[in-house]
Amino acid sequence: MTPSETPRLTSLSHGGGCGCKIAPDVLARLLQGTVPDGDFPDLLVGNQGADDAAVHRLNDDQALIATTDFFMPIVDEPHDFGRIAAANALSDIYAMGGAPIMALALVGMPLQQLPDATISAILAGGSAVCAQAGIPVAGGHSIDSVEPIYGLAAMGIAHPDHIKRNDGAHAGDVLILSKGLGVGVLSAALKQNALSDDAYRGLLDSTTQLNRAGSRLAQLDGVHAMTDVTGFGLLGHALELCRSAGLAARLRFDDLPWLPKVRALAAAGHVTGASGRNWAACRDEVALDANLPADAQALVTDPQTSGGLLIACSPDAADEVLALLHTSGCSLATRIGQLKAGAARIHLA
């Protein structure tokens, strides 16, 4: 197969990145009755809630964090696809307050449609990001599949006292987002050949940036909860935090950070089908001000891939959290709202 005959990676999949995720309301229905039977006293975090990873206590000083994440291509360049998928998978470890220690590759590839060099480049991209995180890809599993799939099963370590669950948020906490939004919009534009080179660089810079600041944030007393914003969009993941903690939130649309070109591309109609599914799953718990831009609903439900950390912290800790994020390279990190007492609901003003 010559390079000219090699199909675009994004043309081989019906969806890309975290936009492939099953809609949150459908997922909740599928998971009914799947809580583990029996007594597992050392299982600190399981699938009872909407946390980012499972956590098992090894001893008084160490807890093992385990997660897995994989998806179909969000970009066409194979090395970039591997890098994005690996950074996205490792994000769950950081969002729980841990540091990764090892990963296993999950690989499904249409062997008759992609040359060996393309598949090898995907694997190399994932390994490169894991090396950046200071961990090995120590093994994995592969299958011949209809659509290209790549991701990681990742493991990490944290002190049991530093695990950050969604239910730890407090009324009055400030909400801080560490990365810009709009990955789904940019990926939709890419698939439609409408993404400029500089916008692609912005997409790549954001989605391959490791959320390693989470390990340090978890050690701050004022940080109460963390999650990462991925396929369910900002509203979906903020609602998971609200539901788990039994709180309401007020978000300020004008304070939300956006990746370059996102607002213009969204206005031109480059939005994903996943944003509509995300809205359908959360609209009963969201109030949108009437004066918001026409595309606000699509933007705040835009599926993110390897998105930023959503952090709930005390107001007194907000400046320290932002300073840590900015020194870690998260230049767009900003306050986006606040939690308050009340039934789980989000008001977007």
Which residues are identified as catalytic? 18
Rounded distance between C-alpha atoms, residue 140 and residue 104, angstroms: 4
DSSP-derived 3-state class of residue 340: strand
User: How many angstroms separate the Cα of 189 from the Cα of each of 12, 183, 197, 198, 263?
Assistant: 16, 10, 12, 13, 12
- What are the structure tokens assigned to 253, written together? 């649309």
- What are the structure tokens assigned to 300, written together? 């705040």
Q: Among 47, 220, 133, which Cα is nearest to 55's?
A: 47
Q: Among 325, 335, 181, 312, which Cα is nearest to 252's?
A: 335
- Under 8 Å between Cβ of 287 and 346: yes
- 40-76 burial: b if 16+ Cβ within 10 Å, else e: eeeebbeeeebbbbbbbbeeeeebbbbbbbbbbbbbb
Rounded distance between C-alpha atoms, residue 229 and residue 247, angstroms: 18
User: How many angstroms separate the Cα of 57 from the Cα of each of 83, 198, 301?
Assistant: 30, 44, 34
- What are the structure tokens assigned to 79, written together? 């090395």
Q: Among 287, 300, 289, which Cα is nearest to 345's?
A: 287
SS3 letters across 168-235: HCCCCCEEEECCCECHHHHHHHHHCCCCCHHHHHHHHHHHCCCCCHHHHHCCCCCEEEEEECCCCHHH
Rounded distance between C-alpha atoms, residue 56 and residue 47, angstroms: 12
